[in-house]
Amino acid sequence: MAYRPLADEIRPTTLDEVVGQKHILGKDGLLRRIIEGGNVPNLIFYGPSGTGKTTVANIIAQRTNRPLHRLNATTASISDIKDIIADIGTLLAPEGVLLYLDEIQYFNKKQQQSLLEFMENGEITLIASTTENPFFYVFGAVLSRSTVFEFKQITAQDALPAIDRGVSILEQRLGGKLELEEGVREHIASACGGDIRKAMNALELLASAAKKEQGKFLVSLDDAKTAAQKSAMRYDREGDAHFDIASALMKSLRGSDPDAALHYLARLLEAGDMTTAIRRLLCSASEDVGMAYPQAALIVKALVDNALQLGLPEARLPLAQAAVLLATAPKSNSVYQGIAAAMADVKAGRVGDIPRELQNVHADSAGLEREQGYLYPHDFPGHWVRQQYLPDELKNRKYYQYGDNKTEQAARRYWDEIKKP
């Protein structure tokens, strides 16, 4: 009998066997009701690998009398699509076809457009899957003709029943009891990171290396930790996970939650992505702390320099220090708002001529800057003198607004006193 991977052998054949996804496949889940109703529309399944997208597509195929065609967008071409279209209306597919297109994000616009006519008239029912956000990667016309369902990462608790089913299958293969040391099930469920395929691969590996004693096959926790190490990290520097973790770190710093900031920093560092962590920390120092604690930018830069000199794993210490500093520092986005408003005016063409007294001394002018009417602030009390700096059309524009923190309010009082009429 040909070898069949455990991950494939354990694949559910009914909706009740699907692990997780209760929000769409539970008793009252919308996708479950659509499938059981029999009138399946064009669907796009979006979510991490190993969460059941392909499995659910197979279950849908079993419930329809249409022939199922499978394509993977990483290797398929226009000619593959044309071959499928050629079958439509023939004895091979008198009522159309069901097309399962895996990794649709790898199809370019032209390839996706080739499906539109047949999706429109119902001759092709498309079930596409992607690990990336379809609203960014799928052509709008395909998206508008489809219903998107998100498959969420499977929890460790949800993975346990699948592991138990896997153990039962492996016991049949081995012809004896597969005995897992206490904690093995839980470790595999946690380490797989919500990917049932990874869990089954780890379990199958452990079973093949199990020690046989008194007719039993023993799997130790130490072996499980070796076989399933670091697999809980879902990370792709070009994928959604990268941007989600980076975004979560930035928002945790902004939200003054040092515990969450350390968590997301740890996830980036565990994935070896120190660059993203550093960029977020440096950015937050100016964007979120800003003028409420201006020294934070200098301190974070020094800590980043330390991290770069140390390298991982020691770099985690100065980076963690920077994260805690930023998360617990007073906050102000006055700098961010000020430059955003200024950039908006520039992009909109609201610039105007630079006042003559601020211009550089040109070749056609005689004398020094002061002869252009420029007032040198250091010649005046408080090192300030009233004069116009913005162009005429923007002379009353206010970009910077003092934040309501101690540092900026002190600066505001200082300048109010000097600039009072």
> Is position 80 within any domain?
yes
Closest by alpha carbon to 309, among 344, 280, 342, 274? 274
Range of the domain at 200: 156-227
Both structure tokens of 307: 């991290």
Q: How far apart are CA 152 and CA 135, in angstroms?
A: 16
Q: Say yes or no: 244 and 291 in one domain.
A: yes
> Is position 8 within any domain?
no
Q: Say yes or no: 354 and 391 in one domain.
A: yes
Q: Say yes or no: 145 and 190 in one domain.
A: no
> Is position 95 within any domain?
yes
> Is position 15 within any domain?
no
Q: How far apart are CA 281 and CA 239, in angstroms?
A: 21
Q: Are 196 and 165 in contact (CB under 8 A)?
A: no
Closest by alpha carbon to 286, among 315, 321, 253? 253
Q: Say yes or no: 40 and 72 in one domain.
A: yes
Q: Say yes or no: 160 and 136 in one domain.
A: no
Q: Domain boundary at 200, 227, 254, which?
A: 227
Q: What CATH number is attached to the domain comprising 90?
A: 3.40.50.300
Q: Tell me the DSSP string of 216-281.
A: EEEE-HHHHHHHTSSTT----TTSHHHHHHHHHHHHHHHTT-HHHHHHHHHHHHHTT-HHHHHHHH
> Is position 16 within any domain?
no
Question: What are the pLDDT tens digits along the chain (421 aa)?
Answer: 567 888 888 888 888 888 888 999 988 899 999 988 888 889 999 988 888 898 898 888 888 777 788 889 888 888 888 888 887 777 777 677 888 999 898 888 888 888 888 888 888 889 999 988 888 888 888 898 999 999 988 888 888 988 999 999 998 888 888 989 899 999 998 888 778 888 899 899 998 888 888 888 998 988 888 887 654 555 555 556 778 899 999 999 999 999 999 999 999 998 888 999 999 999 999 999 999 999 999 999 999 999 999 988 899 999 999 999 999 999 999 999 999 999 999 999 999 888 888 888 654 455 554 456 889 999 999 999 999 999 999 999 999 999 999 999 999 999 999 998 8
Q: What CATH number is attached to the domain comprising 279?
A: 1.20.272.10
Tokens 């009417």 locate to: 373
> Is position 12 within any domain?
no
Cβ contacts of 113 within 8 Å, gap of 6 or more? 139, 141, 142
Q: Per the structure, how many domains does the chain have?
A: 4
Give the 3-state secondary structure percentages of the chain, helix then strand then coil, rounded to 5. 55, 10, 35
Q: Say yes or no: 127 and 34 in one domain.
A: yes
Q: How far apart are CA 415 and CA 409, in angstroms?
A: 10
Q: Domain boundary at 112, 130, 150, which?
A: 150
